[in-house]
């Protein structure tokens, strides 16, 4: 049966399934639920990235908020973590982010932030969903019932523009560092997204020599062959210009992938290793623990264990990382893709604050980024995606189970095989990892072959 919310809010091609009508209803229902709980008019912070469809969806969401008597506070274009910060800074009741993160420009998304600055739980999203849609006949459609009030006259909601939204967030980001960036030459790939007006300026304010690329968004070029999913672009510029480091964001700047002075990629696992080990060695890492996902390199866990630390593994998705972090009382966690959460500095993945944390370690240690990246040993990883006709049958196929067992025996105890269906596509993902890449590739290829034969 179809679902409205995915792993990171509602995300679809804009003006098709994610229509302005749906955006209006989401704004209305989300605000209506908060109003019912609080017994007063909610204040909702609304921010977006640079996509062409952002204006349209923003107008619809804001209208939905006002239709139920809420106060909408528009920030304009701002990184996703900026909305999470502003919700807390302004003591608002919720936030709504209009962004599809790293996805192509034709997509857009709507995700909610609760009053404490965290993304909504699955349970809270389901509460919104049950008021928005009907599951009749196994498909999504608008529910014709409307249980929330429609105030009139003086009780209609209002819309405000927060003129200093960006300045507030920049001041907060600056407050997380205590070192100057003078003498550092930094290339920043803004992905033609929300970071374009933020990261280059912030680093310049801190004294860095900044070369900004892909920092001229036109509504259509967000994430197009640039940013954190195309780190080769920033890598080339780092080498050409002799820069010390390269930084690449995604469209809404909640991710960071770095590049060292040689042009080599420093992914989210390496960033967690660098920042986490620095905190661990200073005695500033609570419980000597960080949180990572099943896709993180085994070398991350081995590296922390070697120095008396621990890596707790959770399922893929930054919301699950955050859930585990809060449960354990730790301040650092993230994903290999560059979603890094510093829970003592913000309540969500924050590519800008992560960049500042990484550069701070670079400055205080006096080393090069390539040297810092070498702190973490790396196991060869092989990832294959197999397109299948029915991914639900994966868990009940004995031939596939036997193939996985053979692969595990081939890789040995020093490695692993991880097989799971994609959450959104008709794919089965196979991740293999171990000391010898050729052996891992053979094992993964054999599992992929059997899956294709059984489910293709």
In a domain, 73, yes or no: yes
Answer yes or no: do 102 and 195 share one domain: no
Does 356 lie in the same domain as 233? yes
Residue after which a domain boundary falls, among 142, 164, 186? 164
Same domain, 290 and 428: no
Compute the distance between CA of residue 256 and CA of residue 251 in angstroms, rounded to an integer: 11
Residue 169 lies in a domain: no
In a domain, 278, yes or no: yes
The catalytic position among 53, 99, 101, 196 is 101
Are 49 and 138 in the same domain? Answer: yes
In the predicted structure, residue 341 carries a pLDDT above the cut 70:
yes
- pLDDT, average across residues 186-199: 98
Q: Which residue carries 């204006």 as its tokens?
A: 55
Q: What is the pLDDT of residues 106-158, one digit of tens each?
A: 999 999 999 999 998 888 998 998 888 765 544 555 555 578 999 999 999 99
- The whole-number pLDDT of residue 6 equals 82
pLDDT confidence tier of residue 179, bands split at 50, 70 and 90: very high
For residues 430 and 432, give the distance between their C-alpha atoms in angstroms, rounded to a whole number. Answer: 7
Percent of the chain with pLDDT over 70: 96
**Burial of 239 (C-beta count, 10 Å sphere; 0-12/13-18/19+):** middle
Residues 216-273 have pLDDT tens digits of: 999 999 999 999 999 999 999 999 999 999 999 999 999 999 999 999 999 999 999 9
Per the structure, the complete domain to which residue 47 belongs is given by: 10-164
**In the prediction, which pLDDT does 4 show?**
84
Residues 233 and 121 occupy one common structural domain: no
Residue 182 resides in a domain: yes
Q: Does 329 share its domain with 428?
A: no
Whole-prediction pTM: 0.91
413 — pLDDT class (breaks 50, 70, 90): confident
CATH of the domain at 437: 3.30.310.50
Distance CA 456, CA 448 (A): 10
In a domain, 122, yes or no: yes
Q: What is the mean pLDDT of the chain?
A: 93
> pLDDT: is 207 or 137 the higher one?
207
Asked whether residue 1 is assigned to any structural domain, the reply reads no
CATH number, domain with residue 188: 3.40.120.10
Other CB atoms within a 10 A radius of the CB of residue 425 amount to: 12
The question of whether 228 is a catalytic residue gets the answer no
- Where a domain ends, among 164, 186, 209? 164
- The pLDDT score that the predictor gives to residue 393 is 85
Same domain flag for 283 and 349: yes
Number of domains in the chain: 3
Between CA 365 and CA 361 the distance in angstroms is 6
Q: Which positions ≥6 away from 180 have C-beta within 8 Å? A: 206, 207, 363
Sort strands 158-161 and 71-77 into parallel, antiparallel or unpaired.
Answer: parallel
Say how many C-beta atoms besides its own lie within 10 A of residue 148's C-beta.
Answer: 18
Q: Are residues 76 and 210 in the same domain?
A: no
Rounded CA separation 395/370 (Å): 41
Give domain status of residue 171, yes or no: no
Residues 180 and 297 in one domain: yes
> Do 353 and 385 share a domain, yes or no?
no
Query: Do 438 and 410 lie in a common domain?
Result: yes
Q: Is residue 2 part of a domain?
A: no
Give yes or no: residues 23 and 78 share one domain: yes
418 or 87, which is more confident: 87
Last residue of a domain, one of 135, 164, 193: 164
């Amino acid at each position: 049966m179809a679902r409205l919310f995915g792993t990171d809010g509602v995300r679809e091609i804009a003006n098709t399934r994610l229509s302005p009508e749906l955006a209006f209803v989401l704004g209305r229902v989300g605000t209506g639920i908060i109003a019912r709980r609080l017994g007063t008019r909610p204040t909702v912070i609304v921010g977006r990235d640079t996509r062409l469809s952002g204006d349209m969806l923003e107008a619809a969401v804001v209208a939905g908020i006002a239709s139920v008597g809420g106060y909408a506070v528009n920030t304009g274009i701002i990184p996703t973590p900026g909305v999470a910060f502003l919700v807390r800074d302004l003591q608002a009741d919720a936030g709504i982010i209009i962004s599809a993160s790293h996805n192509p420009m034709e997509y857009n998304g709507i995700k909610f932030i609760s009053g404490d600055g965290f993304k909504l739980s699955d349970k809270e999203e389901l509460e919104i969903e049950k008021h928005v849609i009907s599951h009749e006949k196994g498909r999504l459609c608008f529910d014709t019932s409307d249980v929330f009030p429609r105030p009139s006259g003086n009780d209609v909601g209002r819309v405000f523009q927060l003129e200093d939204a960006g300045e507030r967030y920049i001041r907060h980001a600056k407050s997380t560092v205590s070192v100057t960036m003078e003498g550092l030459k930094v290339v920043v790939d803004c992905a033609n997204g929300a970071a374009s007006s933020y990261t280059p300026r912030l680093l310049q304010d801190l004294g860095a020599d900044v070369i900004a690329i892909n920092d001229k968004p036109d509504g259509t070029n967000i994430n197009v062959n640039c940013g954190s999913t195309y780190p080769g672009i920033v890598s080339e510029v780092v080498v050409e210009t002799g820069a010390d480091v390269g930084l690449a964001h995604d469209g809404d700047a909640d991710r960071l992938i770095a590049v060292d002075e040689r042009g080599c990629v420093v992914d989210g696992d390496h960033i967690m290793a660098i920042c986490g080990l620095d905190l661990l060695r200073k005695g500033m890492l609570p419980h000597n623990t960080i949180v990572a996902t099943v896709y993180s390199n085994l070398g991350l866990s081995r590296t922390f264990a070697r120095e008396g630390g621990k890596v707790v593994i959770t399922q893929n998705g930054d919301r699950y990382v955050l859930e585990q972090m809060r449960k354990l009382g730790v301040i650092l966690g993230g994903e290999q893709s560059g979603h890094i959460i510093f829970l003592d500095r913000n309540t969500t993945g924050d590519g800008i604050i992560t960049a500042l944390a990484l550069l701070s370690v670079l400055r205080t240690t006096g080393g090069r980024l390539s040297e810092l990246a070498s702190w973490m040993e790396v196991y060869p990883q092989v990832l294959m995606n197999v397109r299948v006709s029915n991914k639900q049958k994966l868990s009940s196929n004995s031939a596939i189970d036997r193939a996985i067992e053979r692969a595990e025996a081939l890789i040995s105890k020093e490695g692993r095989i991880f097989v799971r269906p994609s959450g959104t596509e008709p794919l089965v993902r196979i991740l293999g990892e171990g000391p010898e890449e050729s052996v891992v590739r053979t094992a993964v290829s054999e599992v992929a072959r059997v899956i294709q034969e059984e489910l293709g």
